[in-house]
Amino acid sequence: MKRTILRLTFIVGIVLLFFRCATVPLTGRHQLILFPEDQIVSMSLTSYSSFLKENKLSTDAVNKQRIKNVGARISKAVEQYLAANGLQNQIANFEWEFNLVASNEPNAWCMPGGKVVFYEGILPYCQNDAGIAVVMGHEIAHAVAHHSNERMSQQALIQYGQAAATEILGHNQSDTRKAILAAAIGMGTNVGITLPFSRKHEYEADHLGLIFMAMAGYDPNEAVAFWTRMANASAGKQPEFLSTHPADEKRIAKLKAAIPEALKYKKN
């Protein structure tokens, strides 16, 4: 038990040491980053290579080029802004690449390191280049803000904390009671910490995404239209407190509130 408490104390010490060493660009939020970013990027490149081998790239030449064009505009604008503000280290390991895959799934993502993939299924919701820019800006924002590293860091901390809490609270308890306690702690941290934190990342990516698309010359007002289309297409969604994504009406309200700030960055 003493060893467990010492381990927990050590982890807390790491948190206090690193918590103020990383800050999200533009929002200024302090974040927990425990892993070297080059390690995260290396892992992502391995996953990306595997993904490309296992999934078919789109043969739609027109939309493939649209994805590449919008991606190039936004990534260039982000690079210029970060460099101008002495933040170029945020994307020091990035090598941009933009692909469209043949899938009806309405999805898109950007891995740490700048590898972006759109699925054909999301294009009907985008409707135009500005709509593509909404999604592109949002996904690139996740990568620029190092959300993957932050989530991994948080999960590592939670795992140590859960193990310590189970050991401390379940001291002298039967294995069955310890198992029940561990399950209860796991559910509590998931609903009380992990899911809300995921929603925070989504809101932050929305916020940064608006600014990034505006920097590239796109109208951030298009984000409201895009997310409204997505909301109208969804049905039977689970309650927000059990979801990794914000409720549609809350997301759209926050987007509307952030548009005036984003417009200050818009290039004509």
State how far the Cα of 230 lies from the Cα of 191, in Å rounded to an integer.
25
Quickly count: other Cβ atoms within 10 Å of residue 78's Cβ.
27
* 218, 263 Cβ separation under 8 angstroms: no
State how far the Cα of 150 lies from the Cα of 172, in Å rounded to an integer.
35
Tell me how long the chain is.
268
How far, CA to CA in Å, does 49 sit from each of 35, 97, 142? 22, 12, 20
- Give the active site residue among 139, 150, 167, 222: 139
Nearest alpha-carbon partner for 139 in 118, 157, 159, 164: 118
Whether 139 is catalytic: yes
Q: Which residues are catalytic?
A: 139
